[in-house]
Structure 1
Amino acid sequence: MTAITDDQNETGDRWDDGLIARRADGRPETGRTGGAAADGEGDGPLEGSLLAGDDHLPIGGTYGGPLRDRLNALRELLGLSQTRLDGKTLAEAGRVLDEAAARQRLSSRHTVVAIAGATGSGKSALFNALAGVRIAETGLRRPTTSAPIACIWSEGAAGLLDRLAIPGRLRRKPLAGGDGDEQLHGLVLVDLPDHDSAVVRHREQVERVLALVDAVIWVVDPEKYADAALHERYLRPLAGHAEVTFVVLNQIDRLPGEATDQVLDDLRRLLDEDGIALGEHGEPGATVLALSALTGEGVGELREMIGAFVQERSAAARRLSADVDAAAAKLRPVYVADGRTGLDERAREDFSARLAEAIGATAAGEAAEREWRRNAGRACGTPWLRLWRWYERKRMPGAASAEPPTPTEEEPTARQRVEQAVRTVADEAAHGLPAPWGQAVREAAARGAKGLPEALDELAAREAAETKGRPLRPAWWPAAVLAQASMTLLQIFGGLWLVGQIVGVLEPGLIPPVLVMLAGIVGGPLVEWACAAATRGPARRYGQDARRRLHEAAAGCGRAKVLDPIAAELMRYREVREQYAAVSGSTKPGPGAVPGGVRTRIG
């Protein structure tokens, strides 16, 4: 943000001196427009503006209406953006706020109008013609005007002239011993050096003063009205200031016949190409007219226009509003997004799914389902099958305690998946955002991603520990175990019955013990098969529940560490986008705004 110069900082002291001088002259200091002015409320664009001929209104005023709201929004916008945008980007907007504050402290009763033009355009002659007395030097020597000269039609403009750094020796009055025409009361007219002067200091003075005055009268002549330097360096960049711009075609006395109309039409065409709106048919825009400062033709018409312009007391607010428009136009690339922005529900779900996949939620669910079925087999299987499995484990030493080896690349792969998931969701959130805000979103995601893999590992370990403590059997399992035990007892009972018959303890009868044994032999596998079929649904649900818990845990961790910081940045962008809409005078956020509701709420 550009700093206020020493001359501007000293304005307050000089303004106080001027106020004391006016009191010494016997002029009353009253004139506050009432409590509304003190409170910053008002109907006009610059409160404190006086009615024509009233000398009792305050020196300064407060900006009212839409301009005040836009300035407040611009101030808020800069405050929200200082940590996201560099100083060079915000410098022009900061300068506008500084100039607004400086102009507000000075006289609202005066309108500062600068006369600018190229070498030999006759701007000094026009300056003298408007003043009605020879003030600026004219002649063939170039450059004729080496420093800004001011002509003041009423008292109280000392602070404004101090702000323009015009010394007292270059301040004049239009007529000796009087204030000049009443219609120009409040006008401060400044004659500038040539904008195309060969002296660099002259051009620097022109640019400095043009940035501070309320309005500009551009003087062109029939030879240089189409000068590229004028149009490209001054008129085109200031196209938004059309309402405080006068373009005067001077020296029409040198044009024969209808040549004046032809040159004037061509000048209007060039201004239209520059983007300058022309104030024709009652529409707001630049005023274009032809005159001759030498013969006086058209000078009276210009005086009337300037007089009406000055008496409106709105030039300062118009100029400042145009400055705000220009600053908003420069800031547009860093505030207006390309299309819709934000994270939708699908992007958040995809991010959670990637994190869950990175910590092995699917594999954990499948493992839990297998564990459930394995426990079902152990509890409901036939004793002989369980005995065979035990024998197989004993026959292969180490098989019982052996666990599948963990691939050496599994942990790095999981970390890479987490980082990739974070990059993906950050890119989706930053898509379409202006570069500074997109970078802020990515940085917020990167900061949140630090420690995310470790946090996910802790969640997975805690979930696994909790899972081991949970019972893996449904309520009907005791009945299944009892049925399997009954089938085993039938086999044992049938076998003992048959042995008793063989040894002669029991009466012979082969069929009953065989049937009992067959019932137990066939019933055991049937019970085991029925249990296996019955456990498919619960095992699947148990695995899905384990996967869901891990998924929710991963989603909560990712939301806290990544999605919430992203949402905060998107909300901050939404705030600055709304403030920018207020600065630019748009009531609608536009297509680049972050919509509310689901798209901006993370979590």
Structure 2
Amino acid sequence: MSRHGSARVSSQLDGRLEALNDARELAEGVLPDDVLEDVLRLLERAASRRSLSADHTVVGFFGATGSGKSSLFNAVSGAEIATAAVRRPTTTEPLAGVWGADGSDPLLDWLDVRSRHHATPVDGLADDETGLILLDLPDFDSTRAANRDIVQRMVGLVDVLVWVLDPQKYADAAVHNDFLAPLAAHGAVTLVVLNQTDRLPDRDVRPVLESLQGILARDGLGSVQVIGASAVTGAGVDRVRAAIRHVVLQRQASAQRLTADVARASRQLREVSGDGEAAGVRAGSKARLADELATAANVPLVVAAVDRSYRLESAHRTGWPVTRWLLKFRPDPLRRLNLRSTSPAELSRTSLPPAGAPERARTDAAVRQFADDASAGAPGPWRAAIRGAAREGRERLPDALDQAIAGTDLSAARKSWWWPLFNLVQWLALLTVLGGLGWLGVLAGLGYLQLPVPDVPRVEGWPVPTLMIAGGAVLGIFLALTGKFIGAAAARGRAATARKRLRTAVGNVAEELVVEPVEVEVARLRSFNTSLDKAGAK
């Protein structure tokens, strides 16, 4: 592959690793810790591998006891690197054959391979310029736990996996279920060799290979190259060498391996996460939440108090002066709720009834319904995270709502322009009545004292003092009734304004304590899915 192509593959891998890490970080606290830790280990492993020699391709030979793995390793290497047969019935530690020594030591240190052999050039495989490391690994079915641990570790570290099977145990469930099937995404860096074909009659070699290919297809590795070989006779060894050399010359095995690891980790995250996107926060849901919280926070009671308070104040300001003083004995509803301050900033608490069980139940139900609507369509773990975010601020809601109401400008102290006008006319009407009464009183006194009583001016036959009393009283009553109707209309307007402001204040509290946390979780799920799609892109 050209340097340009290698750079492109490396850049794509950079993007996928970054996306996988983003998905992992986004999933913290939502998905199981053990799964996220596996992803973190993969990312750390990828960072370590990419910091080491990019000129070497690490090829691991894996096989069961008796598969002839070490013998095939020697045959491919063209030298007795691995001690086989009777003197060494099983491989107990990794052994490396190295071509192109420069830069290999740090990589082998990272792999924890101590036994190293700098091999001579082999036609059709490698020379000193190739950059190849072949590893002969312990048997994966070894009875020694340490050997199995080495195999498990190396399965996750090598760039290319060569599985050496034999005709007797090629269908063994252990290798297929425990190793091959879980690595189905690694087909591009996997090679399967059916060794010891010399033990089969010639007519059986092809059927056995076909049977093996069928099993691999069921494992998800239908595209993997399967080669029949014999380390004893040398049959197929050149094909194995050629397959390895082809991968080495491509110079992208390491990136392909890591890309497959990322794809596999992405699928695992997807499996534990589930598919789907949350419906998200909608305007209708926000409005319903605010309405329910407003009711639970006694906003209707406050609105009614604003209405009654204005009517009371209006009657006190514009009513018949003779009787308006009686209104002082009627308590102001807003003052009883501690909402009569001229400056909302001076208030920190209201005297509204504390939230009882019914109000808390209504609040909880509203928050739960909002979270259910927003999380609809989200997979299970994320739906739980969204609901949890909605409930997180639930305990703070009653106090926050009370403070929001206390801080809302209800215009309680704002006077209406028509009050002074009505009040002036009312007092003029009262003075007119008093003037008429005083005039008649003077006339009555003169008559009582047998003094001359002057004629009283008349209008259409009605004495002016009498007209003054009647006119003043009628005007006062008319103004009082008119003021009552005007006050009622103005009270409804002021109550409507208060309702709107209180609804906005409650909505702001809901936004801060419920809506925004839910939106954060919904956005987190959206970003998680986007990152996961990018990480696992084909």
- TM-score bracket relative to the smaller structure: 0.7 to 0.9
Matches within 5 A, 1:116-195: 116-139=62-85, 143-156=89-102, 157-168=104-115, 171=117, 173=119, 178-181=120-123, 183-185=125-127, 186-195=131-140
1:12 alignment counterpart: none
Equivalent residue letter for 1:71: L
* Cα distance, 1:494–1:315 mapped onto 2, change above 3 Å: same
Matches within 5 A, 1:488-567: 512=462, 528-567=480-519
Establish whether residue 243 from structure 1 lines up as the match of residue 188 from structure 2. yes
2:210 alignment counterpart: 265
* Cα distance, 1:306–1:197 mapped onto 2, change above 3 Å: same
* Counterpart pick for 1:469 among 406, 413, 419: 413
Establish whether residue 45 from structure 1 lines up as the match of residue 10 from structure 2. no
1:201 alignment counterpart: 146
Matches within 5 A, 1:354-393: 354-378=292-316, 381=319, 386=323, 390=326
Deviation at 1:418, TM superposition (A): 5.0
CA distance in 1 between counterparts of 2:52 and 2:180 reads: 27
* Cα distance, 1:43–1:350 mapped onto 2, change above 3 Å: farther
Deviation at 1:231, TM superposition (A): 0.8
* Cα distance, 1:489–1:126 mapped onto 2, change above 3 Å: same
CA distance in 2 between counterparts of 1:144 and 1:557 reads: 70
Assess if the C-alpha contact under 8 Å between 1:143 and 1:193 holds in 2. no
Assess if the C-alpha contact under 8 Å between 1:137 and 1:144 holds in 2. no
Establish whether residue 454 from structure 1 lines up as the match of residue 415 from structure 2. no
Structure 1 unaligned spans of 5+: 1-41, 48-62, 279-285, 587-603
* Counterpart pick for 2:46 among 93, 96, 100: 100
For each residue in 1:229-281, what CA deviation from the matched residue of structure 2 results, as whole angstroms up to 9, or x when unmatched? Answer: 11110001111111000112223333345433322222222112112241xxx
Establish whether residue 585 from structure 1 lines up as the match of residue 537 from structure 2. yes
Assess if the C-alpha contact under 8 Å between 1:487 and 1:520 holds in 2. yes
Matches within 5 A, 1:6-45: 43-45=4-6
Establish whether residue 340 from structure 1 lines up as the match of residue 284 from structure 2. no
For each residue in 1:395-422, what CA deviation from the matched residue of structure 2 results, as whole angstroms up to 9, or x when unmatched? Answer: xxxx745979999974435566556555
For each residue in 1:84-108, what CA deviation from the matched residue of structure 2 results, as whole angstroms up to 9, or x when unmatched? Answer: 7675332222222222232223322
* Cα distance, 1:541–1:321 mapped onto 2, change above 3 Å: same
1:67 alignment counterpart: 13
Name the SS of the counterpart of 1:121 in structure 2: coil
* Cα distance, 1:251–1:370 mapped onto 2, change above 3 Å: same
Establish whether residue 113 from structure 1 lines up as the match of residue 51 from structure 2. no
Deviation at 1:67, TM superposition (A): 0.7
Assess if the C-alpha contact under 8 Å between 1:377 and 1:532 holds in 2. yes
Q: Which has the higher helix share?
A: 2
For each residue in 1:293-324, what CA deviation from the matched residue of structure 2 results, as whole angstroms up to 9, or x when unmatched? Answer: 33333222222222212111111111111111
CA distance in 1 between counterparts of 2:246 and 2:398 reads: 72
Deviation at 1:531, TM superposition (A): 4.1
Deviation at 1:468, TM superposition (A): 3.2
Equivalent residue letter for 1:540: R
Assess if the C-alpha contact under 8 Å between 2:310 and 2:412 holds in 1. no
Deviation at 1:287, TM superposition (A): 1.1
Structure 2 unaligned spans of 5+: 338-350, 448-452
CA distance in 2 between counterparts of 1:66 and 1:403 reads: 69
Assess if the C-alpha contact under 8 Å between 1:334 and 1:435 holds in 2. no
Deviation at 1:154, TM superposition (A): 3.4
Name the SS of the counterpart of 1:184 in structure 2: coil
Equivalent residue letter for 2:507: A
TM-score, scaled to structure 2? 0.78
Equivalent residue letter for 2:82: A
Equivalent residue letter for 1:270: I
Q: Higher mean Cα deviation, 298-307 or 332-341?
A: 332-341
For each residue in 1:501-524, what CA deviation from the matched residue of structure 2 results, as whole angstroms up to 9, or x when unmatched? Answer: 9x8976899974699988777766
Assess if the C-alpha contact under 8 Å between 2:309 and 2:333 holds in 1. no
1:14 alignment counterpart: none
Structure with the greater relative contact order (CA < 8 A, sep ≥ 6): 1 or 2? 2
Deviation at 1:430, TM superposition (A): 5.3
Deviation at 1:205, TM superposition (A): 1.9
TM-score, scaled to structure 1? 0.71
* Counterpart pick for 1:226 among 168, 171, 175: 171
Question: Matched residue pairs, number?
Answer: 507
Q: CA RMSD in A?
A: 4.2
Assess if the C-alpha contact under 8 Å between 1:46 and 1:108 holds in 2. no
Q: Higher mean Cα deviation, 195-204 or 481-490?
A: 481-490
Establish whether residue 215 from structure 1 lines up as the match of residue 167 from structure 2. no
1:33 alignment counterpart: none
CA distance in 2 between counterparts of 1:144 and 1:378 reads: 106
Q: Higher mean Cα deviation, 259-268 or 131-140?
A: 131-140
Name the SS of the counterpart of 2:356 in structure 1: helix
Q: Higher mean Cα deviation, 362-371 or 331-340?
A: 331-340
Equivalent residue letter for 2:256: R
Name the SS of the counterpart of 1:43 in structure 2: helix
Assess if the C-alpha contact under 8 Å between 1:119 and 1:142 holds in 2. no
CA distance in 1 between counterparts of 2:506 and 2:459 reads: 67
* Cα distance, 1:78–1:323 mapped onto 2, change above 3 Å: same
1:88 alignment counterpart: 34
Name the SS of the counterpart of 1:217 in structure 2: strand
